Amino acid sequence: MRIFRRITQTLTLAAVLATSAVVGAWNVSAATVTSANDYPSTLQTSQASNHRVLFTTPTGVSLGSTITLTFASLFDTSSLTEDDIDVADDGTDLTTAADCTGSEQASVAIASDVVTITICAGDGGAIAATSAVTIEIGTNATSSGTGLNRITNPSSTGNYYVALGGTFGDSGSIILPIGADDSLAVTATVPSSGGGGCEGCDGGGETDTTAPVISNIVVSDVTTTSATISWTTDEPATRILDYGLTTSFELGTETVSGYYTSHSISLSGLTEGTTYYFQIRAADITGNSATSTTQSFTTLDETDPVISDIEVVDITTTSARVTWTTNESADSTVSYGLTTSYSETETDASLVTSHSVLLTDLTPGTTYHFQVLSTDASSNQAFSDDDTFTTDSDDAPGNVSDLSIAEGDEELTLSWTNPTDEDLAGILVLQCLGGYPTGPTDTSCTTVSTALVTSLLLLDLTNGTTYYYGVFAYDDAGQYASGALESGTPRAPDIYVPALCGDDICSETEDAVSCPEDCYTEPPGGEVCGDGLCTETETADSCPADCGILPYCGDAICSTDESPLTCPADCSDSEEPTSLGAEGGELSDTDLLYQVADESITLQTTSSGVVEVLPTSTLRVAIPTSEISDGVSVITLMIGSDSYLMRLDDALALYVSDLTTPDVLTIYEVSVLVTYADGSSEAVSSYLRVVTPGDVYQVVDG
């Protein structure tokens, strides 16, 4: 579908327009008809009704010109024929026919709820300026027509419009309030009778206690700043109209002195595109009063939305998201394609000011032209200039693995293993103070390297200061991995104090064999300081050989260099660990997805919540966006001692991190920390077990 740029002002759901339209190279000026009214025989839903439309044309209707009456689509005009319509000029009926081939003065055609009257050339039917035109539709068309069929009202209550237009140059519209019946709720104040006179008595001397009946309320001649409200009463009554922006009618009261049965009040100085509420009050000469139900109308909105801040974000190989803002609520349309012909269109009908449209099924490495369009509730449209974006050539690379940091004197050394992507172009390393980077474009950090390397020596650092690093693999298309994280603190070398056997301290260089004076003890249970096991009776002070450096066997943590064989106290495989589960918020460990084989297989957890993977294999860890609240700042994934960022894949509606599994056969704690822009967070934990290589399979249909 292509975008068709609007070159004329659309007639919207308000009444009368005064427009200047440009078609081709000719300027056409239109005037607003005056005293436009429609007097239907009934305003009840689903009922067949005659219509008597009256208006005064400021410009007249020349030979060959047309007058059109467009009824709202919920009116049923399908039964009408030419014989059901009469046209009169200042009270003189014109002769009509289905076409202008004969001597008739006007032709009448009906199609798609539009009645078109053409003033036939050469037959003397021209209508002069300021003439009063009457169009009768239905069984009341008995002059030139025979009047057998009527228009059926909409089946639901509401305000419906009849738009007046045509090539004769004038325009206008009328609001018809269709209701469940033809009655209007009224309230009446009846004065108490008293002795003496008989003012308001009828011929028989009885007092008039009946309030006027208000009917035929019509709003017409609606513009951006004005409207005319007309009604009738069944007896002479006062003319009073209360109106406002709410049902309190706070803007005031308009009155006309005297007593009338046909009433009309014009309101001016109104605000464009605004809904106004009003009620009508009427009192007869004896003081009996009636009040109508609350009615409403909306002035014309002829101002287009203003589009700004257009961006294309979350670009992948097959998708991209287009965002923009408007200064008023409007819908969202993006037309796009390989050329400015825009062969595709994506639309969101919601009326919003912040717009976001996701384009999918795109071709990798392709440049697309696009244009955004927004239409407000009054059909005013705005569209942008042509712009372009290019999809990514292929998927982003995986993360580096085995990221580690060595601390030295005023220096740090980062080392890692690069992913195996064929189009890997380099490794971006960001250095930050105060916290990890939020992504590869974090401007609060410093770029220290973009080279395709596996290690980096960072010099001239400040001892005692913690530096935070994000390591992002990127490919030839400029796509970045979600990022691996590490931190380190440069330190001055410790002053070496040689161990002294006999000082009653079993230092790191001493053991029970080399220095039994310091290290050989017999605590309860037979534990020996220097046996490599930090027991409950030993501390870092009493036995630094066993307890002085973390990690150590007996610290209740199965580190990457421990196993059930080397440290059963920490790594016992007698039973599987229990999943830690959610630590806060609504996020659950069941929300973590572990995908392998190019994301074609989602691994299942064991009964205790452990996921088993092969060593040094490609693994995607993902979380559906539906499981995470809005306003995410950053999501951090930790597997054992390795930390990674998770990036948003908008097309898949997932937060993902692609990585290589560790090569040590053991169990790793997996934790995800979600940090929100308001400072709140939620976390979830699970376990990952690296197992001996074997067959990985998927169960299909049981």
The CA distance from 149 to 49, in Å, is: 9
Q: Are 88 and 161 in the same domain?
A: yes
The CA distance from 332 to 319, in Å, is: 17
Q: Are 673 and 616 in the same domain?
A: yes
Instruction: State yes or no: pLDDT of 20 exceeds 60.
Output: no
Q: How many CB atoms lie within 10 A of CB 337?
A: 15
Predicted confidence (pLDDT) per residue in 91-107, tens digit: 899 999 999 988 889 99
Residue 662 domain-assigned (yes or no): yes
- Residues facing 598 on adjacent strands: none
How distant is the alpha carbon of residue 330 from its chain centre?
11
Q: Are 31 and 162 in the same domain?
A: yes
Rg (CA), the chain: 42
- CATH of residue 479's domain is 2.60.40.10
Provide the Cα torsion 555, 560, 563, 566; round to 10°: -70
**Total domains, the chain:** 6
pLDDT of residue 24: 26
Residue 199 domain-assigned (yes or no): no
Structure tokens, 342: 């825009």
Host domain of residue 636: 581-690
Of 444, 471, 488, the residue at which a domain comes to its end is 488
**Nearest of 30, 39, 91 to residue 65 by alpha carbon:** 30
Q: What is the mean pLDDT of the chain?
A: 83
pLDDT category at 425 given cuts 50, 70, 90 is: very high
For 169, left (φ over 0), alpha (ψ -120 to 50), or beta? left
Sequential DSSP letters for 85-122: EEEEETTEEEPEESSSSSS-SEEEEEETTEEEEEE-TT
pLDDT of residue 266: 95
Decide if 576 contacts 558 (C-beta within 8 A). no
Q: Are 139 and 30 in the same domain?
A: yes
pLDDT of residue 66: 94
Write the single-letter amino acid at 36: A
**Nearest of 304, 347, 302 to residue 326 by alpha carbon:** 304
Q: What percent of the chain lies above the pLDDT cut of 70?
A: 82
C-alpha to C-alpha distances, 469 to 135, 412, 419, 438, 651, nearest whole angstrom: 80, 11, 18, 11, 28
Q: Are 544 and 609 in the same domain?
A: no
Instruction: State yes or no: pLDDT of 28 exceeds 50.
Output: no
Selected residue with higher pLDDT from 300 and 189: 300
Decide if 659 contacts 670 (C-beta within 8 A). no
The CA distance from 109 to 43, in Å, is: 24
Q: What are phi and psi of 138, to 5 degrees?
A: 125, -155
**Termini Cα distance of the chain:** 44
Provide the Cα torsion 555, 558, 561, 565; round to 10°: 100
Residue 201 domain-assigned (yes or no): no
Write the single-letter amino acid at 20: S
Decide if 426 contacts 448 (C-beta within 8 A). no
Average pLDDT for residues 518-544, to the nearest whole number? 68
pLDDT of residue 570: 67
Residue 183 domain-assigned (yes or no): no
Instruction: State yes or no: pLDDT of 576 exceeds 60.
Output: no
pLDDT of residue 23: 25
Q: Are 365 and 220 in the same domain?
A: no
Q: How many CB atoms lie within 10 A of CB 644?
A: 26
pLDDT category at 702 given cuts 50, 70, 90 is: low
Residue 563 domain-assigned (yes or no): no
Least confident of 349-363, 452-466, 587-601: 587-601
Average pLDDT for residues 227-247, to the nearest whole number? 95
The CA distance from 99 to 105, in Å, is: 10
Q: Which residue has the tokens 């429609």?
A: 38
Average pLDDT for residues 72-79, to the nearest whole number? 93
Residue 142 domain-assigned (yes or no): yes
Residue 576 domain-assigned (yes or no): no
Least confident of 118-132, 176-190, 279-293, 379-393: 176-190
Of 371, 390, 409, the residue at which a domain comes to its end is 390
Least confident of 175-179, 223-227, 643-647, 691-695: 691-695
Of 390, 409, 424, the residue at which a domain comes to its end is 390
Instruction: State yes or no: pLDDT of 609 exceeds 90.
Output: no
Average pLDDT for residues 650-666, to the nearest whole number? 87
The CA distance from 374 to 325, in Å, is: 10
Helices and strands per DSSP (H, E), number in the chain: 3, 46
Q: Are 508 and 460 in the same domain?
A: no
Q: Are 106 and 162 in the same domain?
A: yes
Residue 202 domain-assigned (yes or no): no
Q: Are 418 and 270 in the same domain?
A: no
The CA distance from 321 to 465, in Å, is: 40
The CA distance from 618 to 397, in Å, is: 11
Q: Are 66 and 154 in the same domain?
A: yes
Length of the chain in residues, anyone? 702
Decide if 101 contacts 56 (C-beta within 8 A). no
Q: How many CB atoms lie within 10 A of CB 249?
A: 17
pLDDT of residue 581: 42
How distant is the alpha carbon of residue 162 from its chain centre?
33
Q: What are phi and psi of 590, to 5 degrees?
A: -70, -10
Is residue 18 exposed (0-12), middle (13-18) or buried (19+ Cβ within 10 Å)? middle
Q: Are 30 and 147 in the same domain?
A: yes
Q: Are 364 and 435 in the same domain?
A: no
